[in-house]
Structure 1
Amino acid sequence: MALKKSDLYTSLWKSCDELRGGMDASQYKDYILTLLFVKYVSDKAKADPNSLIDVPTGGSFDDMLAAKGDKEIGDRINKIIAALAEANGLQKVIDLADFNDEEKLGKGKEMQDRLSALVTIFNDLDFRGSRAEGDDLLGDAYEYLMRHFATESGKSKGQFYTPAEVSRILAKVVGISTTTNQDQTVYDPTCGSGSLLLKVAAEAPRGITIYGQEKDNATWALSRMNMILHANEVADIRKGDTITSPQFTKNDQLQSFDFAVSNPPFSVKSWSNGLDKDYGRFEFGRPPEKNGDYAFLLHVLKSLKSTGKGAVILPHGVLFRGNAESTIRKELLKRGYIKGIIGLPANLFYGTGIPACIVVVDKEQAAARAGVFMIDASKGFIKDGNKNRLRSQDLQKIVDVFNKQTEVDRYSRMVPLAEIADPKNDCNLNIPRYIDSSEPEEIQDLDAHLHGGIPERDLDALNGYWDAFASLRTTLFSQNRPGYSDLAIDVADVQQTVLDSAEFKKFAAEVGAKVGHWFAAHRDDLAAINKKTTPSDLIGSLGDDLLARFKPVALLDEYDVYEQLMSYWHNVIHDDVFLIMNQGWLDAAKPRKTIEDKDRKLSEAPDLVVGSGRSASKYKMDLIPPSLMVATYFAEYQTYIDELGTAAEEAVRVVEEYTGEHAVEDGLLSDAMDDEKISKALTTARLKDAKREGSDPDEVRALQHLIELYDAEAATKKAVREAQAELDLAVLKEYDNLTEGDVQSLVLDGKWHHTVAKRIEGEVDSLTLALVSRIEDLGESYAETVGELDTEMAKLAGKVAAHLADMGFIA
């Protein structure tokens, strides 16, 4: 039975990391990704006899399996990879990692066990049908591993990977889309492992012709493998330094492309070492000798066709540094080549923690360009471990706003070239010069502090709420004097007043109905999920429609709503879709036994346990959680268990109350205490002694009563356990009774729709709490006038003086 995608990747990473030993992640990735490559091409050759990769006898993953446990396994794996490399002209590409290296993999039995375990891990993966079934299992697994390797490799070695979210932004802002033709070209002069190029290619479902160059030999090999792994076997990836030795030239000129993207190393000091020809790249000025940022930008620009478009990730310094860079910047602006600039959050990238920006260049209609479109997206991110990460809503907002050139207050603006060229700016492109993204400071109203009342201008700033909840303002406020209002209710009652208002209830109901209509429009498509479904197309349709439906809704930010869907998609629905695609609705819903693998140190937490002790059976319910089954089919019995639980809690409370009263020093139960703790065993032992000793009858009765309470507590807890065990068994059996229609109803309506609706309902609650918080702040800020505070201070000063006088201190 197939695991959920997330479990599969987690298992893969944990297993691989467990076997890494003392090797650095940047080195270890070469071993792991080589095995992944061999496994993939072997599986693909089995499924597709016309595969472009020839898997020869003695050069397959099955041959690696046959080497498990062999004391010469390292040498055998090297020979297997060599045979595969020779058959496909991939020497110095897939055979760089030495699987017989004792320093990295251990000696003798240690190497034998480690490599045997690694081969076993990859044998669990099956890539034969992943693309045919519309879901890129391999691509996602590769992405998962690369992200973890980049995270583990540290700053100096993490530059082989561009975060997927940033890569997708570059692809979308240069205009690659469903209309892009297969004969159009995309080029990355610093392609690293190829992750950026592949994300760009993924935005062009018809296909696109890929070109790339990478300086580092091991990373270049990784990129070649990556292209094959992602079915881009014909991608042209060349080796060498792009600036000093560009490989894509024709007739002594740089070859040109339709699109170019790049995430070059930031501020390289040695960029010009060995440079003897500039290929016309520096016609607008030569970059500084100690900083290569503009060398890469100018290379990209020169590599574009007359209508070409490019996007380059660079440090913010390129926007404002002076001298040679200022000269180049002015020339680019004068010719209209810079279409836009997108400021990104800090700490997104694995090679550096500094904030970066995307410079978008566009040669098409450059002469007519009258401005530069700027976005300050520096505040839109989420913490993810020790890095920051763009959320789905951040990515989507950047792309929508940039492509539609939409001006959003404190976020985006079309800045006229005349303003940029004005002497006070002097072609400085630093984003804060043109977009103030800071929150406006709250202005304190002295008149209100002196004479009371809440300033109307502060209430007018909440007009979005008053437009949506028309009568709420008059309910909450009464006029104090012209320009000022008072809270008409106690500040503690504000939240309940808002929640009880008919307009708020209507607004919340309309939001819920809108979510219902949105889900109903897609329910048939969701019910039709099968092995041919393309998950990216599915979520794309769902997300775009949700954004469109909530764009006109007052108060709610459509991107916040969108994020609720997308985060749930990434965390849950995508896994569910994967299971349904691979197993069908019915089989995906069946319980499975938990995985217990001591060798790989893997142990799944069960969703349901039937039985106890060693005979207990532990189950995972990947698609339909037991809680949903209980809520749907056993709600009344769950209520009964809840009541038993309440009775058990009450029994515990009674025991605690009774012992708290009597199990104290000199109390009736003091002799039953042991180091200030009391238990049934101690109580029973003390009762036996008390009877034998003829102790105080009150103590005997107290001990007897406490034992009765302990028995009652035990009985109620036992009733809860037995009832829960009965329910668990009934739930397990109920899974066998489910029809496909039942499964679809549970998953689509009870799980997906219900959860998304609740999440969006949470957005409504959040905006309401924001209103309440603001009103409470205003009410408390202006609750007392300066005069009232002075009077109160005088009273307090008088009390202090009186107390001092009473103590004999005279001022």
Structure 2
Amino acid sequence: MAIKKSELYSSIWKSCDELRGGMDASQYKDYVLVLLFIKYISDKYAGVPYAQITVPKGSSFKDMVALKGTPNIGEDINKKIIGPIAEANHLSEMPDFDNPDKLGSGKAMVDRLTNLIAIFENPALDFSKNRAEGDDILGDAYEYLMRLFATESGKSKGNFYTPAEVSRIMAKIIGVKSDALPSTTVYDPTCGSGSLLLKVADETENGMTIYGQEMDVATAGLAKMNMVIHRNATAEIAKGKSTLSNPEWLDDGKLRRFDYVVANPPFSYKAWTNGFAIQAGAISDPYGRFTGFGIPPKKNGDYAFLLHIIGSLKSRGKGAVILPHGVLFRGNAEAEIRENIILRGYIKGIIGLPTNLFYGTGIPACIIVLDKENAENRKGIFMIDASKGFVKDGNKNRLREQDIHKIVDVFNKQTEIEKYSRMVSLAEIEKNEFNLNIPRYIDSQEPEDIQDIEAHLLGDIPNADIEALKEYWEVCPSLEKTLFNPGNRPNYSKLAIEREKIKIAIYSYPEFISFSEKAQSSFKNWKVKNIAKLKAIAVRDKPKKLIPVLAEDLLQAFSNLSLIDKYDIYQHLLTYWMETMQDDVYELVADGWEAGKEIDKEPKKKNVWEGRLIPKQLLINRYFDAEQKAIEKQETERDEITRQMEEMVEEHGGEEGLLNEVINDKGKVVKADLQKRIKETKDDPDSADELKMLKDYLNLLEQESESNRKIKEAQAALEKKLLEKYKVLTIDEIKTLVVEDKWLVKLEQDVQTEIQRVSQRLTGRITELAERYENSLPKLNTQVADLEKKVASHLSNMGYTWK
């Protein structure tokens, strides 16, 4: 039975986090990720001749397992496992597994390391048997843990990791071709754990030649392990030196040039000049990176990194770099450098990102896209303001799938969208003194909802507010006349129906029904096109290649539909993929459609179980609907009995009530107490009313008990039928249940939700306008006059005269 990817990742994180104790996450990650790395290379490469990674004899994960519980476990891991692997593969410095300051001493260290090793003995973590080739779960697990460790590490220590969403955007907008040759080079001068480089390499079918440099030795080690885990073991990662003062990748003493360069350097790095020679009071750069541009400020390295990247690009090279927004508009030396870069045409585009997106800082950042090809003929810079597209995720913001896809689509197609993107001419930029601050060129602010004073005074709804809803009237041309009548004066209208009936009027209107049917038809066409593809999922398929095809088809299906944003529909699919479909598909490519027969039993609860791939409710809906309805009918009848009993207690349970003697301190009637009281009162003629009430209640109690017994028996019988049905499900039945009843029904419901949202938006706005101008000044004056008359009348009746 395949373990679900999401369960695997979360269980690893939970187990590791429990063992961390007081150690900082930025330190503890090194131990966890090294163990994950050793488990991977042991499963994949131990004993394999000519493998890309060498696992020396006696240094595999199995040899590490043998050290569990031994008194010198930390020292032996260093000498027998870590050391030989690092030496054989020229890896960077590895964490010290015999460090009492971090891991405790004596028995505490033994227990912690023993338990940590045990986490990775999970049978599901057998990477030698991974069948989803190209979708190795370890790469995703590594990425998952890196993100969580970055989140836990705080501002000062989380910058070893660039959010995967941003990395994907950069990889997709710099122009990497899927058929690029393996000799195509990509370089990251501040590569951290290497995630940016890997995302770029993933854009090609054949892989790329990868180079990186990372000043922090431990992080460089993570990057090298990350490369191996993602099947890029030949990647070269230089370590331990500053890229700016000591660039490692040189050719004949000059900067080596690459086809692609990507980077997420430390923002506004103050110590960037360390290691540079100072001549005549000025910074001297032997590699000529600042020549013709200007020297960056001594206490801010943003432009130093940008110029290094420009200097590292080939004559037709392309790149992207993440920098703080300040580089777009700061003055003095930076203004001079910015002008010189713009005049050379090196900047192809700028993408403004949301705030609080990165782990090292909360300030807003941007992606500067560089392209030297045809730079001398570039006439403008394409700008995107993507600052508003995100979702809250804990204490950080995160780009959604729809945000990523929209940015990539719009940038690569150079599509101009009001309040989102536009091509800005160099002439306009020059008029603004080469200031690139995005709000100067894209006004992304929502228009102010202006209050109409005349409408407040005299009533009716301003036509300007109604005309602002033109996108709805374009889809439903005659709906406007159904909802509004001309007002008492020009440029104003009245609501033609009661306010409470607006939603019904819109939703039942023929033109809106036609729009709804068109949206549903768009989904149906997508479903017809892809249902066979979904039912054809087979062992050894590649889930990561399936979902983009499905998603792109869905985007295309909704691309020409008004009022519904195709990216919202796209997000529904991707969200459902991450929450459910991904696990399902990985199970199918691991175990085939027979996985649909599997069930999960709750270990601590007897007879509690659920279908692993197919929830039992789906089987009930398709095969046992009559049995389920019979149970529901019994439950309804039982609930009616319970309701009668509750009403009796409420009515007769007070101090003088007929049931007072049998109600305990918790407000409940106990059957034994009830029977006892009946015996006490059966021969007492003065208690006849009480006796009747007691017997009526006892009768209901027994009916309830009998109903519960029958319901329990019926449920047990249904559970038995379900278990038997799982065993005999055919492959075709499983495919129908999973694809049609589970996946497609959920997505169809999501589409219906978007249709309803259109109606809700229009209903909400019209209702808001109607309520806003409902109480005009004349109406209020009339109401006040009426109230004054009533008050005066009441006072007169009381003998007072109101003047």
Query: TM-score, normalized by length of structure 1?
Result: 0.93
Partner of 2:695: 704
Contact 2:663–2:670 (Cα < 8 Å) also in 1:
no
Cα deviation for residue 559 of structure 1 reads 0.5
Secondary structure of 1:696 counterpart: helix
SS of residue in 1 equivalent to 2:592: helix
One-letter amino acid matched to 1:147: R
SS at match of 1:378: coil
Counterpart Cα distance in 2 of 1:540 and 1:177: 17
1:635-784 equivalences under 5 Å are: 635-675=625-665, 677-681=667-671, 682-691=673-682, 696-784=687-775
**What is the identity, as a one-letter code, of the residue corresponding to 2:531?**
R
One-letter code aligned to 1:373: F
Instruction: Find 1:463's aligned residue among 465, 470, 474.
Output: 470
Structure 2: distance between partners of 1:507 and 1:36 = 52
In the other structure, the counterpart of 1:188 is: 188
Give yes or no for the alignment of 1:541 onto 2:549. yes
Q: In the aligned structure 2, how far is the partner of 1:649 from the partner of 1:27?
A: 57
Secondary structure of the structure 1 residue equivalent to 2:183: coil
Task: Give deviations 1:595-654, integer Å, cap 9, x for gaps.
Answer: 67xxxxxxxxxxxxxxxx7xx244342211111111111111111111122122212211
Q: Runs of 5+ in structure 1 lacking a partner?
A: 597-612
**Residues 364-398 of structure 1 deviation map (CA, whole Å, 9 limit, x = unaligned):** 11121121111111111111112111100000000
Q: State percent identity of aligned pairs.
A: 51
Alpha carbons 2:131, 2:539 under 8 Å: kept: no
Cα distance in 2 for partners of 1:809, 1:112 equals 94
Q: CA 1:112 to 1:163, structure 2 compared with 1: closer, same or farther past 3 Å?
A: same
- Give the one of 329, 344, 347 matched to 2:353: 344
Task: Map residues 263-342 of structure 1 onto 2, 5 A cutoff.
Answer: 263-276=264-277, 277-278=284-285, 279-283=287-291, 284-342=293-351
- DSSP-derived class of the 2:238 partner: strand
Alpha-carbon shift at residue 247 of structure 1 (Å): 0.8
Instruction: Give unmatched runs, 5+ long, in structure 2.
Output: 278-283
Q: CA deviation at 1:356?
A: 1.1
**Inter-CA distance 428–226: structure 2 relative to 1 (3 Å threshold):** same
Matched, 1:499 2:507: yes
Q: Which is further off, 689-698 or 8-17?
A: 689-698
The structure-2 alpha-carbon separation of the partners of 1:16 and 1:694, relative to structure 1 and needing over 3 Å to count, comes to farther
Letter in 1 for 2:381: V
Q: Deviations over 1:546-568 (max 9, x none)?
A: 11121111111111111111111
Q: Distance in 2 between matches of 1:633 and 1:419?
A: 67
2:440 — aligned with what?
A: 433
In the alignment, structure 1 residue 569 sits paired with structure 2 residue 577:
yes
Structure 1 residue 700, shift from structure 2 partner = 1.8
Higher alpha-carbon deviation: 616-625 or 8-17: 616-625
- Write the mapping of 1:571-650 to structure 2, written as runs, cut at 5 A: 571-594=579-602, 616-650=606-640
- SS of 2:102's equivalent in the other structure is helix
Separation (CA, whole Å) in 1 of partners of 2:666 and 2:324? 65
User: Contact 2:602/2:609 (CA < 8 Å) preserved in 1?
Assistant: yes
Say how many residue pairs are matched. Answer: 789
1:518 to 526, 529, 541: 526
Q: Which residue of 1 aligns with 2:280?
A: none
Asked whether the 8 Å contact 1:680–1:710 carries over to 2, the reply is: no
Q: Which whole-Å CA distance do the structure 1 matches of 2:549 and 2:799 have between them?
A: 79
Q: CA deviation at 1:24?
A: 1.2
Structure 2 equivalent of residue 608 of structure 1? none
- Against the structure 1 CA distance between its residues 701 and 418, is the aligned structure 2 distance closer, same or farther, given a 3 Å change threshold? same
CA contact (8 A) 2:485 2:493 kept: yes
Equivalences for residues 192-211 of structure 1 within 5 A? 192-211=192-211
Are 2:409 and 1:400 equivalent residues in the alignment?
Answer: yes
d(CA) in 2 for partners of 1:447, 1:267: 52
Equivalent position of 2:98 in the other structure? 100
Deviation at 1:91, TM superposition (A): 5.1
Q: 1:57 to 1:695 in 2, by over 3 A?
A: farther
1:324 and 1:803 map into 2 onto residues whose CA distance is 80
Query: Quick one: structure 1 residues 270 and 169, their matched pair in 2 at CA, closer, same or farther if it must change by over 3 Å?
Result: same
Query: Contact 1:135 / 1:578 at 8 angstroms: preserved in 2?
Result: no
SS at structure 2 position matched to 1:19: helix
Once the two structures are overlaid, the 10-residue window that deviates more, 151-160 or 128-137, is 128-137
Q: 1:446 to 1:82 in 2, by over 3 A?
A: closer
SS in 1 for 2:156: helix
| Residues 684 and 349 (structure 1), Cα distance of their counterparts in 2 relative to 1, 3 Å cut | farther
Partner residue in 1 for 2:378: 369
Determine the C-alpha separation between the residues in 2 that align with 1:100 and 1:473: 76
2:247 maps to which residue?
A: 246
| 2:597–2:727 contact (8 Å) kept in structure 1 | no
Matches of 2:532 and 2:52, distance apart in 1: 38
| 1:182 CA displacement | 1.6
1:115/1:478 CA distance change after superposition, 3 Å:
same
Q: Which residue of 2 aligns with 1:221?
A: 221
In structure 2, give the amino acid aligned to 1:14.
K
8 Å CA contact 2:484–2:496 kept in 1: the answer is yes
Instruction: Tell me which residue corresponds to 2:482.
Output: 475
Q: Name the amino acid aligned to 1:640.
A: A
Paired residue type of 1:429: L
Cα distance in structure 2, aligned partners of 1:335 and 1:741: 62
Q: Aligned residue for 1:607?
A: none
Q: TM-score, normalised by structure 2?
A: 0.94
CA shift for structure 1 position 140 = 0.6
Alpha-carbon distance in 2 for matches of 1:728, 1:593: 13
Match for residue 150 of structure 1?
A: 150
Equivalence for 2:398: 389
Q: Distance in 1 between matches of 2:385 and 2:92?
A: 43
- Aligned-pair Cα RMSD in Å: 2.1
CA distance in 1, matches of 2:155, 2:791: 61
The letter for the 1-side match of 2:465 is: D
Instruction: Look up the match of 2:424.
Output: 415
**Contact in 2 for aligned 1:131/1:137 (Cα 8 Å):** no
In 2, Cα distance between the equivalents of 1:810 and 1:408? 65
